[in-house]
């Protein structure tokens, strides 16, 4: 029989990141970070929620499920503290996701690209465990060691297999410390590597056959995975692995107003970190970008009168955020600081025309049959014609 290993026997110093619950050994966060982790960027909100959260908390959770949902969806606390929304969408989706993490089922966030799967995953981990950095980034080249464990080969060759030579993965560390691990883009990981998770999720155990030992997950451990089926190179999940997850589908924003709100919020957050102009100065252009993306994505104009061909790209909310952010940078550095049609035109062209042949035809047809006919879009039409020439 294999021997059970106490959780504390995992040596976090062998992994790429330090443990979440020991502030002295956690990597230093600086004010100059281009993109602070969620637990650092929203530390004040998390602290305010923790101070006023008197509801039951699952083992090793920093907040109660109710407080986690409030952190993601936003709200006002009894002392007047305003919690900004991190996710704009159906409340029930967030509640189901949070509840899943409070059970022994892993959570799979599924949706088309740009539906905030990674964003929600990060904030869930930050609110539940106080650390969103126990992350495995899925790619076509992700090895099994990234999910299980690796070896310090200098020590392995010098002394043979031992605990000192073992390098725990983020998932192993999360199991040992009762934390939340994250696996991004699960369907981009080769199928045989994906299935490494089956034993971890079903038995809550990670065997180490080289040592005749195992690491057992302690209470508080769970895993959040994200996946979409629109990217090339997708590896479908086996039925055995899919059964280990509770799947929550994140939809695209239901209304143009909701999508404009999401884009405006995210662009404002990104813009503040880059010292870009405020979003309200370009809210009309944001509405135009969202309208173009939604109409081409849906294959019909907003008024329902004209059917359209859709391009090959996803035209997601995340891409709209990128287009507007790039436009704000152009306005700040090469304009008067106000977002205008010319600042977003090139970004829209790059997002729509992914296939130079087919997509360019779709775009030109949309410009001439829809954009050109809108009286209040004349400046946008001219700007798009200039960059498309």
8 vs 220 pLDDT, higher one: 220
Measure the CA–CA gap between 271 and 278, rounded to whole angstroms: 7
Query: Do you know the residue count of the chain?
Result: 389
Cα 164 from Cα 151, distance rounded (Å)? 9
263 has pLDDT over 90: yes
Per-residue confidence band for 2, with pLDDT thresholds at 50, 70 and 90: very low
Lowest-confidence region among 71-75, 111-115, 274-278, 357-361: 274-278
Q: Whole-prediction pTM value?
A: 0.85
pLDDT for the residue 4: 43
List, in sequence order, every residue forming a beta bridge with 167; answer none if it has no partner: 150
- Least confidently predicted of 207-216, 224-233, 367-376: 224-233
pLDDT at 364 over 50: yes
Judged against a pLDDT cut of 90, whether residue 37 lies above it is answered with yes
Q: Check whether 269 has a pLDDT greater than 90.
A: no
Q: Which residues pair with 72 in a beta bridge?
A: none
The angle subtended at Cα 95 by Cα 90 and Cα 97, nearest 5°, is 100
pLDDT in tens, 197-206: 999 999 999 9
Q: Long-range contacts of range 75-84, CB-CB < 8 Å, 24 or more positions apart?
A: 77/48, 77/49, 77/52, 78/52, 79/48, 79/52, 81/45, 81/48, 81/52, 83/45, 83/48, 83/49, 84/42, 84/45, 84/265
Give dist(CA 389, CA 387) in Å, integer. Answer: 6
State residue 200's pLDDT score: 97
Domain spans of the chain, in order of start = 3-249, 256-388
Q: Look at residue 290 in the predicted model and tell me its pLDDT.
A: 96
Higher pLDDT, 182 or 18: 182
Q: Select from 281, 286, 309, 279 the least CA-distant residue to 370.
A: 309
pLDDT (average), residues 112-120: 91
**Residue 216 bridge partners (DSSP):** 205
Task: Using alpha carbons, select from 175, 219, 176, 201 the residue that is nearest to residue 105.
Answer: 201
Q: What is the mean pLDDT of residues 324-331?
A: 93
Q: What is the pLDDT of residue 232?
A: 58
The pLDDT, as a whole number, for residue 208 is: 96
Q: What angle (nearest 5°) sits at the alpha carbon of residue 355, between those of residues 351 and 358?
A: 115
Paired residues of 166 in beta bridges: 151
Q: Which of 21-30, 135-144, 152-161, 349-358 has the lowest mean pLDDT?
A: 21-30
Report d(CA 142, CA 170) in Å as an integer.
Answer: 13
| Model pLDDT, residue 236 | 87
User: Is 1 a residue whose pLDDT tops 50?
Assistant: no
CATH topology for 3-249 is: Rossmann fold (3.40.50)
Side-chain-side CA neighbours of 264 within 13 Å: the count stands at 19
Which region among 37-41, 265-269, 373-377 has the lowest average model confidence (pLDDT)? 265-269
pLDDT for residue 10 = 44
Work out the pLDDT band at 30, boundaries 50, 70, 90: low
């Amino acid at each position: 029989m294999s021997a059970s290993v106490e959780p504390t026997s995992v040596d976090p110093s062998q992994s790429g990141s330090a443990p979440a619950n020991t502030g002295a050994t956690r990597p230093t966060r600086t004010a100059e970070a281009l993109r602070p982790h969620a637990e650092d960027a929203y530390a004040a909100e998390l602290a305010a929620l923790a101070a006023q959260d008197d509801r039951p908390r699952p083992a090793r959770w920093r907040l109660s499920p109710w407080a986690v949902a409030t952190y993601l969806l936003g709200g006002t606390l009894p002392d007047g503290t305003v919690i900004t929304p991190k996710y704009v969408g159906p409340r029930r989706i967030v509640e189901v996701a949070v509840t899943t993490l409070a059970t022994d089922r892993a959570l799979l966030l599924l949706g088309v690209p740009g539906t905030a799967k990674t964003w929600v995953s990060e904030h869930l981990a930050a609110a539940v465990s106080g650390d969103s950095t126990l992350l495995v980034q899925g790619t076509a080249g992700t090895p099994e060691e990234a999910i299980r464990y690796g070896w310090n080969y200098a020590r392995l060759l010098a002394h043979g297999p031992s605990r000192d030579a073992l390098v725990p993965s983020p998932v192993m560390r999360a199991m040992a410390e009762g934390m939340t691990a994250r696996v991004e883009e699960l369907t981009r990981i080769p199928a045989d590597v994906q299935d490494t998770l089956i034993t971890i999720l079903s038995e809550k155990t990670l065997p180490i056959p080289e040592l005749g030992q195992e690491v057992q997950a302690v209470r508080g451990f769970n895993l959040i995975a994200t996946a979409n089926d629109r990217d090339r190179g997708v590896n479908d999940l086996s039925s055995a692995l899919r059964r280990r997850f509770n799947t929550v589908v994140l939809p695209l924003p239901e209304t143009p107003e909701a999508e404009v709100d999401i884009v405006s919020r995210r662009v404002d957050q990104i813009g503040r970190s880059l010292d870009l102009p405020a979003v309200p100065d370009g809210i009309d252009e944001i509405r135009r970008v969202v309208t173009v993306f939604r109409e081409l994505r849906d294959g019909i104009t907003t008024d329902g009168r004209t059917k359209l061909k859709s391009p090959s790209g996803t035209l997601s909310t995340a891409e709209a955020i990128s287009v507007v952010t790039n436009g704000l940078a152009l306005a700040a550095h090469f304009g008067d600081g106000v977002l205008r049609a010319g600042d977003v035109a090139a970004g829209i062209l790059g997002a729509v025309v992914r296939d130079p042949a087919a997509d360019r035809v779709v775009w030109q047809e949309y410009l001439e049959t829809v954009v050109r006919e809108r009286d209040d879009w004349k400046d946008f039409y001219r700007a798009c014609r200039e960059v498309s020439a």
